[in-house]
């Protein structure tokens, strides 16, 4: 019976702590599930945005392909135009040669006319009419010569005009082709810039999706770990409840049996005529004194503002500050910078209810201080205590480390009051 009553008392003593841990774990599990849902939603949005960017990139690259085709066609046109330019240049050279030849003939005729004294010779022929036939032939010769000179001058002027037109055509065609090529180059550069920008956006989206995927996997693993811890706590509570009920039933039967025994002894005593004094009842075993409210060195609730810090160091993160880049995430404890291997001390006497590695917290120690108060010590290098150990205030329970994916060695320290986070700065009087 005494053993049963002790079991009931221990269940009453540690049952609330386990229940508080279950509440805390359930809250963490709910928060993790919400994070997973939000991450999936964000991943869906990123996938949609990625799809849109890929569609735009496809359009841009298709346009670039069409433009490259136009550039290729223009290059072919430029080759053809280059051939035409060569033909025009050859024609230009022929015209220039013709012009030089015509200039030479005109120069010869000019010198001949000058040597024959020009109009003065023609006047002599008019005055000298001794031989009319000779005069007629000479006059006809001069007419032919004059027409030939005029024809050469006309051809020369036409050659100059054609040469000027060819040179103009060459210049216009070159200018037009260069303008087209410049316009296509400008369009190609613009599209290349757009493509580069969209490729950068797509690369960033791919990086974001990969990061979110990794974070989602981590959150899902967190959820699995928390579910496992919660299941263990629930099984422990169920077992404690069964044991408590069994102990209560045994205690009740023992009490009933003791009452029957007392009644039998009282009946025997009343019939005993040799003794006038009543017999003293036998002491009932199983009296239990509860340490609840004064657990391990006093009530935790009375220690507000008086507790020491678990380790000497500098506060890297304070309670309630934004945690990382996510404005929704807040610190529910503090981070204390300390050298790796530094001893972590219990801020108050209590019992170790958890001492193991937990995703997101690394090597973690949880102390139960009674009345729903818990203290948590995370990211440790080593654990010096095991679950079930009783520790005194100031006793070393672990050493500082960087477990759980931390960049530097530091201690995560948190206090839970009835399952709710409480600011450690309101409980600890000073660092050190």
Do 241 and 354 share a domain, yes or no? no
Do 93 and 222 share a domain, yes or no? yes
What mean pLDDT comes out for the span 11-26?
63
> How many residues are listed for the chain in this entry?
432
Assess if residue 73 is contained within a domain: yes
Do 243 and 318 share a domain, yes or no? no
Assess if residue 294 is contained within a domain: no
- Report how far apart, in Å, the C-alpha atoms of 185 and of each of 66, 68, 205 are: 13, 10, 30
Do 317 and 234 share a domain, yes or no? no
pLDDT of 156 > 60? The answer is: yes
Q: What is the pLDDT of residue 139?
A: 62
Do 260 and 395 share a domain, yes or no? no
Higher-scoring residue by pLDDT: 126, 429: 429
Rounded Cα gap, residues 418 and 230, in angstroms? 17
Look at residue 421 and give its three-state secondary structure: strand
Cβ-based neighbour number of residue 28 at 10 Å? 20
The structure tokens listed for 164 are: 């000027």
Q: What is the pLDDT of residue 164?
A: 83
Higher-scoring residue by pLDDT: 292, 335: 335
| Pairing of β 350-358 and β 390-391 | antiparallel
Do 146 and 36 share a domain, yes or no? yes
Nearest by Cα to 375 from 389, 403, 354: 354
Q: What is the pLDDT of residue 350?
A: 93
Mean residue pLDDT across the chain: 76
How many helical (H) and strand (E) elements, i.e. helices and strands, does the chain have? 3, 14
Backbone angles phi, psi at 297, to 5 degrees: 100, 20
pLDDT of 221 > 50? The answer is: yes
Higher-scoring residue by pLDDT: 335, 277: 335
Assess if residue 174 is contained within a domain: yes
Number of independent structural domains in the chain: 2
Q: What is the pLDDT of residue 383?
A: 95
pLDDT of 315 > 80? The answer is: yes
Q: Which of 272, 289, 311 is the last residue of a domain?
A: 272
Do 188 and 265 share a domain, yes or no? yes
Assess if residue 411 is contained within a domain: yes
pLDDT of 2 > 50? The answer is: no
Question: Residues 400, 393: contact at Cβ < 8 Å?
Answer: no
106: CB partners within 8 A, 6+ apart: 149, 152, 153, 156
Assess if residue 287 is contained within a domain: no
What whole-number percentage of the chain has pLDDT above 70? 73
Assess if residue 290 is contained within a domain: no
Do 356 and 252 share a domain, yes or no? no
Do 311 and 419 share a domain, yes or no? yes
In this predicted structure, which of 137-151, 287-301, 328-342 has the lowest mean pLDDT? 287-301
Do 327 and 371 share a domain, yes or no? yes
Do 424 and 316 share a domain, yes or no? yes
Assess if residue 278 is contained within a domain: no
Q: What is the pLDDT of residue 133?
A: 66
Instruction: Give the pLDDT band (50/70/90) at residue 220.
Output: confident
Q: What is the CATH number of the domain that holds 244?
A: 1.10.287
pLDDT of 288 > 60? The answer is: no
| pLDDT tens, residue by residue, 230-266 | 567 657 756 876 887 888 888 888 888 888 888 888 8
Higher-scoring residue by pLDDT: 322, 31: 322
The residue range of the domain holding 91 is: 1-272
What mean pLDDT comes out for the span 98-113?
71
Q: What is the CATH number of the domain that holds 411?
A: 2.70.70.10
In this predicted structure, which of 75-84, 163-172, 297-306, 369-378 has the lowest mean pLDDT? 75-84
Assess if residue 215 is contained within a domain: yes
Do 33 and 137 share a domain, yes or no? yes
Rounded Cα gap, residues 394 and 402, in angstroms? 22
Q: Which of 223, 254, 272 is the last residue of a domain?
A: 272
Exposure b/e, 125-162, CB count within 10 A at least 16 = b: eeeeeeeeeeeeeeeeeeeeeeeebeebeeebeebeee
What whole-number percentage of the chain has pLDDT above 90? 20
| pLDDT tens, residue by residue, 25-68 | 777 777 777 777 777 787 777 777 767 776 776 667 677 777 76
Q: What is the pLDDT of residue 115?
A: 62
| pLDDT tens, residue by residue, 344-371 | 999 999 999 999 998 888 899 999 998 8
């Amino acid at each position: 019976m005494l053993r049963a009553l002790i079991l009931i008392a221990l269940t009453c003593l540690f049952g609330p702590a386990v229940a508080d841990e279950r509440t805390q774990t359930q809250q963490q599990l709910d928060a993790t599930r919400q994070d997973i849902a939000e991450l999936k939603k964000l991943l869906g949005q990123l996938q949609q945005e990625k799809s849109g960017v890929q569609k735009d990139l496809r359009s841009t690259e298709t346009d670039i392909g069409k433009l490259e085709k136009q550039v290729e066609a223009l290059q072919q046109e430029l080759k053809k135009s280059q051939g035409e330019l060569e033909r025009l240049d050859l024609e230009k050279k022929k015209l220039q040669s013709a012009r030089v030849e015509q200039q030479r003939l005109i120069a010869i005729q000019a010198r001949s006319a000058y040597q024959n004294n020009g109009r003065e010779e023609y006047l002599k022929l008019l005055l000298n009419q001794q031989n009319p036939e000779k005069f007629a032939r000479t006059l006809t010769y001069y007419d032919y010569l004059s027409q030939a000179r005029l024809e050469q001058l006309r051809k020369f002027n036409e050659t100059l005009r054609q040469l000027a037109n060819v040179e103009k055509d060459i210049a216009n065609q070159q200018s037009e082709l260069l303008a087209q090529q410049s316009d296509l180059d400008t369009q190609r550069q613009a599209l290349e810039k757009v493509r580069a920008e969209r490729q950068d956006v797509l690369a960033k989206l791919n990086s974001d999706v990969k990061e979110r995927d990794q974070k989602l996997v981590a959150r899902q693993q967190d959820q699995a770990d928390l579910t496992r811890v919660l299941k263990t706590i629930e099984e422990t509570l169920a077992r404690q409840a069964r044991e408590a009920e069994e102990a209560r039933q045994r205690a009740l039967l023992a009490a009933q049996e003791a009452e029957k025994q007392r009644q039998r002894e009282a009946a025997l005593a009343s019939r005993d005529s040799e003794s006038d004094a009543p017999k003293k009842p036998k002491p009932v075993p199983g009296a239990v004194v509860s340490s609840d409210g004064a657990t391990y060195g006093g009530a935790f609730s009375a220690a507000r503002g008086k507790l020491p810090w678990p380790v000497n160091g500098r506060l890297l993160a304070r309670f309630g500050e934004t945690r990382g880049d996510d404005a929704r995430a807040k610190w529910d404890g503090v981070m204390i910078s300390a050298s790796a291997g530094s001893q972590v001390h219990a801020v108050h006497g209590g019992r170790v209810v958890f001492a193991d590695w937990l995703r997101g917290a690394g090597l973690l120690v949880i102390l139960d201080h009674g009345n729903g108060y818990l203290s948590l010590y995370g990211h440790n290098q080593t654990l010096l205590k095991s679950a079930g150990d009783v520790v005194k205030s100031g006793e070393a329970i672990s050493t500082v480390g960087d477990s759980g994916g931390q960049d530097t060695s530091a201690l995560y320290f948190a206090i839970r009051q009835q399952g709710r986070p409480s600011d450690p700065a309101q409980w600890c009087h000073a660092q050190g």
